[in-house]
Structure 1
Amino acid sequence: MFKNKNILIIIILVLVIIIISGIFFYQKNSQPINHSNNKQNAIQEQIKVFKPQANDLINNILVIDGEAKGNWFFEATAPFYVLDSNFSTITSGFIQAKDNWMTENFVPFHQEIKIEPKTESGYLVLKNDNPSGLPEKDLFLMIPIKFDLSEMETSSENSEKMIIKVFFNNNNLDPEFSCNKVFPVEREVVKTQAIARAALEELLKGVSEEEKNQGYFTSINPDVKIQSLKIENGIAFVDFNEQLEFQVGGSC
């Protein structure tokens, strides 16, 4: 009889333990866990954007101003993307840290980008530079913005112009085709303080039909884009997209 009673007590204790464990497990797993909020808080602790603010109206020049913790950057840069309302990329590049990025403190950044959107709204996406390649370490800040398409259509017509020179090879002026000889072509552009970027953008456009008839040509691939441009001590450092080296060959 005592044996049966002991067995009954053991069974009851086991059932009580199972019930208590089940209640504890349910309560633990029924707590709402908002990983997106946690990640959003982490982003807000890493980067602050002063310009643009959400739903700002942007003309053809997008100014990005803010500050980010040093670990947001790698080699003093971090990528950004400008998207249209269909999430297609209008342009992309890198923000540049203005001070020493190897710090745990906030570092200011500034970037001005010429854009040509086709939709009335879009997004600025700022991403941390993640050299590890691990997706769980990726951080994104997405800011909704609006585009003033009417301003963009009239800005080039009403703006003051300037002349810049870009250089191409020319079969007529250099019939022996020596790789180190290039010749100037004048282009009229909207006046800007970013002369280096304007000149590079004209160079990447290639030669016009009229210039082609005059013997000018380019060996630069179409659709090459400037990802970042900085000038230090009179020397320009430019990062182009991968299209620059696509199927490139030859002696020059």
Structure 2
Amino acid sequence: MSAELRTERDGHVLILTIDDPKTRNALNGDAFFAAIEDTLARANADLDVRCIVVTGAGGAFSSGGNIRDMHEHKGMFGGPAATLIERYRTGIQRIPRAFSALDVPAIAAVDGPAIGAGCDLACMCDIRVASDRAVFAESFVRVGIVAGDGGSWLLPRIVGYSHAAEMAFTGAPVDAAKALAIGLVSEVVPPEKLMATALATAARIAANPPQVLRWTKRLLKEAQHQRLETILDMAAAHQAIAHGTADHAEAVAAMLEKRPPVFEGR
């Protein structure tokens, strides 16, 4: 596990904290990329994990790429173009691929700056909750590069093309109030309430059957680029399986008996 990524459990919720204060939680290094991949793969394999919360320590969500390494052409930013292509593919692009394969619902709890790849990391999650001091920026143009981590695919699907184009073409920061107005985040709270709010949302999600949560997320994701007929076929197949689960039987029985359900992922 990378020293820059801390994990902890709160019931059925897995909390991932990026903790690298010297870089304001930059996303950098093979150890970090491997830790993200490993953690998300383990969560996918564990039905006891029903929701994930991603956050950053020290008053920053993530500053994105390491600017000092860019300036010095070090690490993933060093070498000729052909080398850089492979370094992106085998480097930071491992993060969006890992999140794309994640069936567990994910919430980004954003405090302070979410800049460049940090903004895109928040967009890789299903839900974003922000503190009122959060700042988002799709700022790649301001350092003379493009979004190398899938931001051009992610951001328009969340805020629409026009807002995404404005953010990407200007690189200008978006404060929490505007982020809420354009749909980039679903809730804005004071910093001291951020994690409690994110965990409360995670608990409401985690109260539901884990298998159905994952199938629901997969349908939502596939619906972004599939035809309606394809999604209807997928929904019918998942629904047929869901009707045969013990959790479905428990949900119906608990509703009729007016008691809280207990789901076991069966």
TM bucket, shorter chain: under 0.3
Query: Quick check: which one's strand share is greater?
Result: 1
Q: What is the TM-score when the length of structure 2 is the normalising length?
A: 0.20
Q: Whose RCO is larger (CA < 8 A, sep 6+)?
A: 2
Query: Quick check: which one's helix share is greater?
Result: 2
Structure 1 or 2, whichever has the larger Rg, is 1
Q: What is the TM-score when the length of structure 1 is the normalising length?
A: 0.20
